[in-house]
């Protein structure tokens, strides 16, 4: 009976998010992450010269007027529980911190969903990617270490290819284990591929996400005009004073399952992925690193089509939102092309960017935005997108469907369930968009026992 009710409540393509984990700046867990989002906390912090010098920054660089002394970094990213994963201390020492952190998040996501992989009979897949290994560069500078391990061991411990397979090996996961690399859109593309694996029957559950942990952590960056970095250490998405983004650190993982199975198994469901899509801009844009209105619009429209929902029922979009002079207007133009074709309503859909809180997490940026939006759906609140005072003059919000959500607000219900879109666009043109819906109301159980 329960299984038939579950099937009635789930479309064939619906995917449930049944577990989540994340480590973000000023947020060692998702409870802290949500509090920071809700309270409008900016986790990009100024750095003192003493901190920068201790991180190995050259004194001459500190005197450069274009050197920005700000960082979005992780606390305790190096406190890896090697023994828990059956890894000896020397091996753990040479493994890229990005791999270590992702492995911990993968376990935490399974644990949060109540699943022990050793006792789960189905196939669990892993779809993930990380940023380039700055740690490997540091290891090669350690001559004493190089005398004790082989080059092959160092490469195995740091190469991007070995992230998902190491997780599958250590957690004994038997589903597909796929490394994903599409620059900034990596982790949201990983989510899309995990959904496809579930829908194709290759996986019964799937872990998806990414990590980015540059080392050393507490250091600034050299601002260059025309680049994507911010001149003042703040990301001001969609604002008139926006000048770019700030690099950040973090990791996020979601555990996915076909919705019908999740309902039948009585899983806690955080949100539902109704549809997703991935494409590439191709050559019709001003340069390799430039975004494209056409490419972004197509991926958003395709995701909505796959989801079987119309744009006018989506009331929040977690934007890529890097706060660049070129990228922000193009992103809103692409969204308007899709949403405006469906409805003439103005200012009914909120937009925001988690990058204003924690910076740009590179390979982990997409899953950070996804987790933020899932938490927003769960709490039925839209947290503020920071540093928005005056709209970018190239964006006419007054004549379009969107407004920047600059203040905490209740996420009001309408005739349809609460729905959101999440975008992530990679340098090189690989675009990803995911359509989310709030979790279905749980079915009432029978009468409770007295005790």
On whether residue 448 sits in a domain, the answer given is no
Domain that holds residue 213: 2-438
DSSP 147: T
* Alpha-helical segments (H) within 210-317: 259-265, 293-307
Could you tell me the two tokens for 96? 């890229």
Taking only the tens place, the pLDDT of each residue in 399-442 is: 999 999 999 999 998 899 999 999 999 999 999 999 999 999 88
On whether residue 302 sits in a domain, the answer given is yes
Q: Which residue has the tokens 């490419």?
A: 295
In this structure, the number of other CB atoms found within 10 A of the CB of residue 7 comes to 15
DSSP H/E element including 130:
strand 124-130
Report the C-alpha gap between 204 and 198 in whole angstroms: 6
Lowest-pLDDT range of 2-16, 216-230, 289-303, 315-329: 2-16
On whether residue 444 sits in a domain, the answer given is no
Report the C-alpha gap between 36 and 148 in whole angstroms: 43
On whether residue 111 sits in a domain, the answer given is yes
Q: How confident is the model at residue 1 (pLDDT cuts 50, 70, 90)?
A: very low
On whether residue 447 sits in a domain, the answer given is no
Q: Which residue has the tokens 């970094």?
A: 73
**Residue 33 three-state SS:** helix
Position with higher pLDDT, 333 vs 140: 333
Average pLDDT value for residue range 368-373: 98
Q: How confident is the model at residue 8 (pLDDT cuts 50, 70, 90)?
A: low
Q: Which residue has the tokens 């200012």?
A: 347
CATH of the domain at 249: 3.40.47.10
- Whether residue 296 contacts residue 44, with contact meaning beta carbons closer than 8 Å, is answered with no
On whether residue 48 sits in a domain, the answer given is yes
Q: How many alpha carbons fall within 13 Å on the CB side of residue 149?
A: 22
Taking only the tens place, the pLDDT of each residue in 259-298 is: 999 999 999 999 999 999 999 999 989 999 999 999 999 9
Query: Which residues are bridge partners to 126 per DSSP?
Result: 177, 207
* Alpha-helical segments (H) within 114-215: 134-140, 143-146, 151-158, 162-171, 186-199
Report the C-alpha gap between 215 and 156 in whole angstroms: 18
Q: Is the pLDDT of residue 53 over 60?
A: yes
Report the C-alpha gap between 32 and 308 in whole angstroms: 34
pTM of the model: 0.95
Q: How confident is the model at residue 451 (pLDDT cuts 50, 70, 90)?
A: confident
Q: Which residue has the tokens 């390979």?
A: 363
Report the C-alpha gap between 159 and 143 in whole angstroms: 20
On whether residue 446 sits in a domain, the answer given is no
Closest Cα to residue 328, out of 247, 416, 228, 246?
A: 228
Report the C-alpha gap between 351 and 171 in whole angstroms: 37
- Whether residue 136 contacts residue 80, with contact meaning beta carbons closer than 8 Å, is answered with no
**Residue 189 three-state SS:** helix
Please state the separation of Cα 72 from the chain's center in Å. Answer: 15
Closest Cα to residue 93, out of 163, 25, 149?
A: 149
- Whether residue 303 contacts residue 421, with contact meaning beta carbons closer than 8 Å, is answered with yes
In this structure, the number of other CB atoms found within 10 A of the CB of residue 241 comes to 15
Domain count within the chain: 1
CB under 8 Å to 212, separation ≥6 — which residues?
98, 130, 131, 248, 249, 250, 251, 361, 362, 363, 364, 365
Could you tell me the two tokens for 321? 């939102």
Closest Cα to residue 187, out of 247, 248, 254?
A: 254
On whether residue 449 sits in a domain, the answer given is no
Report the C-alpha gap between 206 and 192 in whole angstroms: 11
Report the C-alpha gap between 320 and 441 in whole angstroms: 30
Q: What is the mean pLDDT of the chain?
A: 94
């Amino acid at each position: 009976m329960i299984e038939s009710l579950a099937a009635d409540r789930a479309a064939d393509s619906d995917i449930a998010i049944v577990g989540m984990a994340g480590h973000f700046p000023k947020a060692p867990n998702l409870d802290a992450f949500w509090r920071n989002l809700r309270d409008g906390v900016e986790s990009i912090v100024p750095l003192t010269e003493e901190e920068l010098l201790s991180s190995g920054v050259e004194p001459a660089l500190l005197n450069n007027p274009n050197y920005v002394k700000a960082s979005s970094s992780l606390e305790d990213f190096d406190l890896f529980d090697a023994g828990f994963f059956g890894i000896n201390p020397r091996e753990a020492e040479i493994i890229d911190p990005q791999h270590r952190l992702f492995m911990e998040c993968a376990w935490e996501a399974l644990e949060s969903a109540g699943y022990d992989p050793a006792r789960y009979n189905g196939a669990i897949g892993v779809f993930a990617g990380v940023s380039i290994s700055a740690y490997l560069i540091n290891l090669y500078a350690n001559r004493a270490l190089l005398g004790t391990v082989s080059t092959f061991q160092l490469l195995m411990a740091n190469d991007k290819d070995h992230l998902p397979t190491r997780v599958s090996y250590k957690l004994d996961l038997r589903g597909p284990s796929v490394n994903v690399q599409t620059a900034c859109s990596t982790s949201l593309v990983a989510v899309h591929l995990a959904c496809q694996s579930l829908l194709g029957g290759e996986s019964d559950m799937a872990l998806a996400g990414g990590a980015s942990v540059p080392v050393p952590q507490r250091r600034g960056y050299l601002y260059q005009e025309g680049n994507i970095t911010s001149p003042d250490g703040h990301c001001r998405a969609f604002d008139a004073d926006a000048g770019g983004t700030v690099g950040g650190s973090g990791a996020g993982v979601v555990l996915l399952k076909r919705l019908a199975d999740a309902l039948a198994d009585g899983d806690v469901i955080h949100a539902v992925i109704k549809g997703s899509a991935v494409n590439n801009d191709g050559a019709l844009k001003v340069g390799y690193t430039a975004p494209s209105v056409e490419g972004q619009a197509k991926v958003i429209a395709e995701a909505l089509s796959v989801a079987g929902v119309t744009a006018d029922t989506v009331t929040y979009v977690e934007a890529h939102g890097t706060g660049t002079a070129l990228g922000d207007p193009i992103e809103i133009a692409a969204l308007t092309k899709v949403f405006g074709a469906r409805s003439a309503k103005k200012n009914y859909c909120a937009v925001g960017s988690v990058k204003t809180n924690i910076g740009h997490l590179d390979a982990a940026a997409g899953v950070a935005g996804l987790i933020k939006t899932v938490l927003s759906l769960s709490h039925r609140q839209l947290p503020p997108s920071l540093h928005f005072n005056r709209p970018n003059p190239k964006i006419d919000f007054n004549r379009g469907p969107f407004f920047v959500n600059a203040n905490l607000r209740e996420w009001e219900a309408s005739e349809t369930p609460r729905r959101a879109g999440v975008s992530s666009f990679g340098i090189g043109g690989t675009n990803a968009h995911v359509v989310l819906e709030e979790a279905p109301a749980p079915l009432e159980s029978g009468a409770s026992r007295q005790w």
